[in-house]
Amino acid sequence: MNKELIQKAVATALKARKNAYAPYSGFMVGATVITKKGRIFSGVNVENSSFGATVCAERVALFSAITAGQDDIAAVVVAASLDGHAVSPCGICRQTLADFNPAMRVILVNAESGKIEKETTIAALLPDRFTFDSPNL
């Protein structure tokens, strides 16, 4: 995956983040997924007055790609800022993303600086995940 594509996905996540719907937490998150063909899909967190109905930005981006028939996901970009630092995806998003590609690259962007703060993979963030592959352990 070339650097220009990653920078475009970072810029797209930062721009999408402005549309986050987070009236309850005030915590704005933008995300993009990059497919193996080089397409970019974006998402934001969408909160709800019934808090458990809230969906994270990462899953909205993933579901947008799936809706377009693109399920070959190479990377996910997460843009947020907590005390001046990037944030790592929640457990539900890690599991959801892992089903599509455990080797997926995870690119964490500091939304204040606009810079990539950390790079990892879903496999590193979610060892021993649940799958229907048998045996699972």
Nearest alpha-carbon partner for 40 in 50, 30, 51: 30
Name the catalytic one among 58, 112, 117, 119.
58
Q: Are 36 and 65 in contact (CB under 8 A)?
A: no
Give just the sign of the alpha carbon dihedral 96, 35, 12, 69. Answer: negative
- Alpha-carbon distance values, 58 to 124, 133, 136, 137 (Å): 17, 24, 25, 27
Please give the helix or strand (H or E) that residue 76 lies within, else none.
strand 73-80
Site for ligand THU in 59-118 (CB under 6 A): 78, 87, 89-90, 93
Give me the least distance between CB of 119 and ligand THU, in Å please. Answer: 15
Site for ligand THU in 9-68 (CB under 6 A): 22, 25, 27, 29, 45, 47, 54, 56-58
Nearer to ligand THU, 38 or 115 (CB): 115
Nearer to ligand THU, 40 or 47 (CB): 47
Nearer to ligand THU, 83 or 133 (CB): 83
Q: Is 4 a catalytic residue?
A: no
Chain centroid, CA 34 distance in Å: 10
Contact residues for ligand THU, defined by CB under 6 A: 22, 25, 27, 29, 45, 47, 54, 56-58, 78, 87, 89-90, 93
- Show which residues are catalytic: 58
